[in-house]
Amino acid sequence: MINREFVYGNVLPLIREKGRMIDYYLVKSLFENVDDELIIELKKYQNKDLGFGNALEPDVRMPNSSVVATNIAISVLGQIKDLKRKDELIKEIVSFFEDVYDLEDKRFYMVSKEVDDYPRAVWWNYGDLKKNFPFGNPDPEVIGFLYHNRKHMSKLDINKLINQVVDYVLNGTFNDDGMHSLFSVLKFNKLVDKDVQNLIHDKIHQVVEQELEKSKDNWDGYSLEPYKVYVTDRHFVADFNEQLQENLRQKLVKVQNLEVMPNWKWYQFDDVFEKAKYDWIGYMYFEIIKALRLHREL
């Protein structure tokens, strides 16, 4: 077991020394209200086009706004407790998403072509964007956010977008698009109405089971871990309690030993990655500690 004193005495000082202040406050937000600090830090990553960039997604170092970085900004907003404090930022993000929607291809793309002008992980190379990031990642997640905040929309037809996601889940390549598309659909599912949830519920269960089975012997590698599904929507791991318990036990040891680190490489710009990987540690501690608190292991 670890407790609040361990987090404040060991984890937070480590993040302050080696990581980023936005993640420092994310971890703190699990224990106390740090809305002011989170908003101040988050705005440092926002651009004039109202999107977010500036390496908020640590594997994408470009300053330009991107959908992937803006999605991380949304996850930060999720920890801000005062709804009124974040409404203006939500409105700005809706505006950004509507502006970057590709009307010809009828989808959102993770990054712009400027990504190639800056250090990045190999999977972010612009020439491979459509291959590496299908409709399932990030469109369902973005569309769910837009639906939830549709009062701010002025350009796109949200009903068409919702139908596009439902069709993708039921009739598209969702089965084969991997864990990132699964997370995108899980986030979509949390934000839409019950009638839409009912349409896609069984298919999501099927893909969760499929992906957990594929990854169950590879948690130390880059794979789907039960705790990540748990913090996104615990309902979908209710049938995998034994796997979840074991996964959380392993993560607890990692936190106790202060050994949380990315388990991937960029396969290019190795010198930059040596610094960038420390930009990940705070967010990784945040997700693990959040899962442990939800499961009352902390």
Contact status, residue 181 vs residue 211, Cβ threshold 8 Å: no
Counting beta carbons within 10 angstroms of the beta carbon of residue 63, is it exposed (0 to 12), middle (13 to 18) or buried (19 or more)?
middle
pLDDT at 221: 82
Q: How far apart, in whole angstroms, are the C-alpha atoms of residue 126 and residue 289?
A: 34
The vertex-26 CA angle with 21 and 30, nearest 5°, equals 145
10 half-sphere exposure, CB direction, 13 A CA radius: 15
Dihedral of CA atoms 149, 150, 152, 153 in degrees, nearest 10, equals 140
Residues 6+ apart with CB under 8 A from 27: 7, 11, 12, 15, 282, 285, 286, 289
- Counting other chains too, the contacts that 199-202 makes at CB distance below 8 Å and 24 or more residues apart are 199/166, 199/169, 199/170, 200/166, 200/169, 200/170
The phi-psi region of residue 258 (left if phi > 0; otherwise alpha if psi is between -120 and 50; otherwise beta) is left
pLDDT value of residue 289 = 97
Structure tokens that stand for 238 in this block: 């209710």
Question: In the structure encoding, which two tokens stand for residue 166, read together?
Answer: 């439902």
Which amino acid, 148? Answer: H
Contacts of 227 (CB under 8 A, 6+ apart): 244, 247, 248, 251, 287, 288, 291
Domains of the chain, residue spans: 1-44+225-298
The helix (H) or strand (E) run that includes residue 61 is none
Amino acid identity of residue 171, one-letter, is N
Length reported for the chain: 298
H-helix or E-strand spanning residue 201: helix 194-215
Are 80 and 39 a contacting pair, CB within 8 Å? yes
CB neighbour burial string for 145-166, b if at least 16 within 10 angstroms, e if fewer: bbbebeeebeebeeeebbebbb
- What does R_g of the chain's alpha carbons equal in angstroms? 19
pLDDT of the chain, 298 residues: tens digit per residue? 679 999 999 999 999 999 999 999 999 999 999 999 999 999 999 999 999 999 999 999 999 999 999 999 999 999 999 999 999 999 999 999 999 999 999 999 999 999 999 999 999 999 999 999 999 999 999 999 999 999 999 999 999 999 999 999 999 899 999 999 999 999 999 999 999 999 999 999 999 999 999 998 889 888 899 999 999 999 999 999 999 999 999 999 999 999 999 999 999 999 999 999 999 999 999 999 999 999 986 5
Tokens representing residue 260 in the block: 């949380």
Tokens of 76: 């930060």
Q: What is the pLDDT, as a whole number, of residue 256?
A: 96
Whole-angstrom distance, CA of residue 38 vs CA of residue 262: 23
